[in-house]
Amino acid sequence: RLENNNLTGNVGSLANCLSLTVLNVSYNNLVGDIPKSNNFSKFPPDSFIGNPGLCGSWVNSPCHVSRPTVRVSISRAAILGIAIGGFLILFMVLIAACRPHNPPPFLDGSLDKPVTYSHPKLVILHMNMALHVYEDIMRMTENLSE
């Protein structure tokens, strides 16, 4: 009588105990197929209840149940759509990568004036730009001159 003892392991290890006259291993943590030997056939099904890992005819839980494999099928239209979408994205990336990037030159409308280059200068404006309108900025910077 070993009920409610938190026993673990395979119940098949008890198959060699041929001299048992009473067996109760209910409400433990035993696993495996309950042996079908002559000795075990005389024990009532209540001797094995409460062991969720046990299987066999005594506990009405078949052992080695083959579960059908679930296969997810994707339609041909879905596969074709994914493939076409992937090729379109790849094509657009290739076009963007291979296209020469020549930004248009900045034209200020005065093509007849000669351009003179000078050394760069640091100019710091001490004013709050958010409070001024375009005319104020042009007046304060003398029409953005050096």
User: Cα torsion at 66, 67, 69, 72 (round to 10°)?
Assistant: 170
Q: Which position has the higher pLDDT, 55 or 120? A: 55
The average confidence (pLDDT) of the chain is 77
pLDDT band at 70 (very low <50, low <70, confident <90, very high): low
Q: Taking the CA of residue 133 as centre, how many other CA atoms within 13 Å lie in the half-sphere pointing to its CB?
A: 1
Q: In degrees rounded to 5, what are phi and psi of residue 65?
A: -75, 125
79, two tokens: 């596969």
User: Which pLDDT score is estimated for 111?
Assistant: 59
Residues near 62 by beta carbon (within 8 Å), at least 6 away in sequence:
55, 56
Kindly report, residue by residue over 97-122, the tens digit of the pLDDT. 887 766 666 555 555 666 666 777 76
Q: 130 pLDDT exceeds 80?
A: no
